[in-house]
Amino acid sequence: MRVVRDHLAEPVPDAFRLPIRIYWEDTDAAGIVFYANYLKFFERARSEWLRSLGFEQERLRAETGIAFVVTETTLRYRAPARLDDVIEVTVRVAHLGQVSIAVAQQAWRDGRLLAEGTIRVGCVEIGTFRPRRIPDDILTQINAPAR
């Protein structure tokens, strides 16, 4: 049953994962993590995932004049996280195109799904923000089976 699997099961086994600690800066007056901050957590996980594939975004900018920009975000918030929690954020490629990638991401704590969503990032030229083809070496790395 899908609901059970989503909420109580563990994250997808082959997904990239980044543990993230919750600090004061992440919380709001309701005593929980401010929802907008999940976009930051998801971004950190995507950055570390790219890095794990061998790509640093600052170097990409300097060497190729391209950057990845977020063009669409869809998130559902299912349960709150709190100060001192360690959450685990996953990264899985949902769709790989020529100029953009759709990334499915989830945030978990102790086997409980806290938030999930899809982030679409486009490859653009620095300065003009015009779409550019994703470099072949990145496409190749992303397509390679997970280690």
Residue number, 10 or 72, with CB nearest to its own copies: 72
Handedness of CA 56, 62, 64, 70 (dihedral sign): positive
Task: Tell me if residue 26 is catalytic.
Answer: no
Query: What phi-psi label fits residue 57: left (phi over 0), alpha (psi between -120 and 50 degrees) or beta?
Result: alpha
Residue 141's alpha-carbon distances to 30, 41, 118, in angstroms, are: 41, 23, 20
What would the x/- binding string for its own copies be over residues 68 to 107, using CB under 8 A? -xxxxxxxxx--x-xxx-----------------------
**Is there binding between residue 126 and its own copies (CB under 8 A)?**
yes
Contact between 71 and 57 under an 8 Å Cβ cutoff? The reply is no
**Is there binding between residue 53 and its own copies (CB under 8 A)?**
no
**Is there binding between residue 65 and its own copies (CB under 8 A)?**
no
- Please identify which residue in 5, 10, 12, 35 interacts with its own copies, judged by CB under 8 A: 35
* Type and span of the H or E element at 73: strand 66-77
Using CB under 8 A, count the residues that bind its own copies. 41
Catalytic entry in 6, 14, 26, 28: 28
**Closest C-alpha to 78, from 104, 50, 114:** 114
- Name the residues that contact its own copies, by CB under 8 A: 21, 23-25, 27-32, 34-37, 39-40, 43-44, 47-48, 51, 56-59, 67, 69-77, 80, 82-84, 126, 129
Active centre residues (catalytic):
28
